[in-house]
């Protein structure tokens, strides 16, 4: 069914795939980002986040499948000023102030936001008269964010926007992003940091080996990874049979201790008791980190068994 432009989602990837040589960097990904959502692409190094973002921005063409932004091609959406993004290697013009940089850039857009509004949204009002080439890393990042939103885009796509920033600079950066999102806009960002995704996104899309392995808010991800962790000391008995216990979704062994993510903690504990394996028993809700490890190791195990079967 064709969607009218006004109903089209902010981002739509339909079976999008991109390989580099024989490596599928993005492997038949279906993803819809609704207007007004803030979505984190979360994954380890090399999981395909930047390639997915490159597809969304039209920097890379998919080998197969489709990519659209507001129902248009990425190139059309960018040309219409509907999409903002931060340039990686954008150096400020020397000896100009923050305000001058923003005012200069605003002339290149058909209907830019007013300069004071951009300064406010990016948290740069106090720094407006500072030299742009002398800003700290965090401040310079907010200036690049200001330049991304000056054309008043409805969608901003950010690839690891806070990488390398300290905690204070991150907080200031996210405050600026929330200000922009609070106007009803859509944000897609990539990150390695679970906490950053949980704290700043309505929805977390977990990528691994170019695929989406989970999609939901932090609570939903915790639940899909089992909901509860049962941990016991192995006391030298080995981990044999633990994955087959009732409710168990994944097993992680750290030194001589097993951590079992489970959907049915009672049944798992009873089964462990029958095996006389409840030394150092601990039962706790799954943390987001446990969930992430369980979700990504699940795909790892499937890929490993598929390659062993070949
Ligand atoms: N231009 C390229 N040529 C060859 N391989 C590439 C290219 N770009 C990405 N890759 C490979 O594709 C896979 C996915 O890379 P991608 O950069 O999308 O991952 P990522 O999740 O963004 O990683 P990171 O968090 O480290 O930035 C990796 O194995 C990477 O080495």
Q: Where are the domains of the chain?
A: 11-215, 222-309
- Note the ipTM here: 0.97
Q: What is the Å distance from ligand 1's center to 50 Cα?
A: 7
pLDDT at 182: 94
List the CATH code of the domain at 11-215: 3.40.50.300
pLDDT at 271: 95
Which of 50, 162, 209, 303 maximizes ligand 1 atoms within 8 Å of its Cβ, making it the mutation to test the pocket?
50
Q: What is the Å distance from ligand 1's center to 7 Cα?
A: 32
Which of 18, 46, 299 maximizes ligand 1 atoms within 8 Å of its Cβ, making it the mutation to test the pocket?
46
- Cβ–ligand 1 contact at 45 (below 6 Å): yes
DSSP letter, residue 262: E
For the record, the structure tokens of 262 come out as 């489970």
CB 161 within 8 A of CB 141: yes
Q: What is the Å distance from ligand 1's center to 45 Cα?
A: 8
pLDDT at 290: 77
For the record, the structure tokens of 156 come out as 């901003």
Please provide residue 241's backbone torsions phi and psi, each rounded to the nearest 5 degrees. Answer: 85, -10
Q: What is the Å distance from ligand 1's center to 114 Cα?
A: 37
pLDDT at 249: 86
Instruction: Give average pLDDT by consecutive 10-residue segment, the chain, 310 residues.
Output: 68 97 94 97 94 95 97 93 82 86 90 92 93 90 91 94 86 91 95 90 95 91 83 88 92 89 93 92 87 72 50
Q: Strand, helix or coil at 275?
A: coil
Which of 13, 20, 21, 158 maximizes ligand 1 atoms within 8 Å of its Cβ, making it the mutation to test the pocket?
20
User: What is 222-309's CATH number, 3.30.2310, 3.30.70, 3.40.1350, 2.60.40?
Assistant: 3.30.70
Q: Strand, helix or coil at 182?
A: coil
Which of 18, 25, 196 maximizes ligand 1 atoms within 8 Å of its Cβ, making it the mutation to test the pocket?
25
Sign of CA dihedral 162, 177, 147, 157: positive
Q: What is the Å distance from ligand 1's center to 126 Cα?
A: 38
Task: Quote the distance between the C-alpha of residue 175 and its chain's center.
Answer: 17
For the record, the structure tokens of 283 come out as 């039962």
- Cβ–ligand 1 contact at 50 (below 6 Å): yes
- Cβ–ligand 1 contact at 22 (below 6 Å): no
- Cβ–ligand 1 contact at 209 (below 6 Å): no
pLDDT at 1: 45
* H helical segments located in the chain: 49-56, 74-79, 98-106, 115-121, 137-149, 167-181, 194-200, 218-224, 265-274, 288-309
Closest CA to 230 of 251, 209, 201: 251
Q: Which atom of ligand 1 is nearest to the CA of 41?
A: 21
């Amino acid at each position: 069914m064709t969607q009218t432009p006004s109903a089209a989602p902010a981002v739509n990837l339909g079976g999008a795939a991109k390989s580099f040589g024989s490596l599928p960097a993005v492997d038949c990904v279906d993803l819809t980002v609704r207007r007004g959502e803030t979505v984190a692409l979360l994954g380890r190094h090399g999981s395909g986040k930047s390639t997915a973002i490159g597809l969304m921005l039209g920097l890379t063409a998919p080998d197969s499948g489709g990519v659209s932004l507001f129902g248009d091609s990425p190139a059309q959406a960018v040309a219409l000023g509907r999409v903002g993004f931060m340039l990686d290697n954008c150096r400020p013009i020397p000896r100009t102030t923050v305000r001058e940089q923003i005012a200069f850039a605003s002339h290149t857009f058909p209907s830019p936001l007013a300069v004071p509004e951009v300064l406010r949204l990016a948290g740069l009002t106090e720094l407006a008269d500072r030299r742009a080439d002398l800003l700290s890393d965090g401040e310079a990042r907010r200036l690049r964010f200001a330049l991304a939103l000056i054309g008043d885009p409805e969608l901003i796509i950010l690839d690891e926007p806070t990488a390398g920033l300290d905690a204070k600079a991150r907080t200031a950066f996210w405050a600026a992003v929330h200000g922009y999102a609070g106007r009803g806009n859509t944000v897609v960002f990539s990150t390695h940091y679970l906490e950053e995704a949980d704290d700043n996104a309505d929805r977390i899309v977990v990528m691994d080996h170019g695929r989406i392995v989970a999609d939901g808010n932090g609570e939903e991800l915790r639940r899909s990874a089992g909901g509860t962790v049962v941990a016991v000391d192995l006391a030298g008995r080995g981990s044999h049979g633990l994955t087959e216990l009732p409710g168990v979704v994944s097993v992680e062994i750290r030194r001589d201790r097993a951590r079992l993510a489970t959907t049915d903690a009672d049944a798992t504990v009873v089964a462990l008791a029958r095996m006389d394996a409840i030394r150092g028993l601990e039962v706790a809700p799954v943390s987001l980190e446990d969930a992430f490890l369980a979700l990504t190791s699940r795909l790892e195990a499937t890929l490993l068994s598929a390659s062993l079967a070949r």
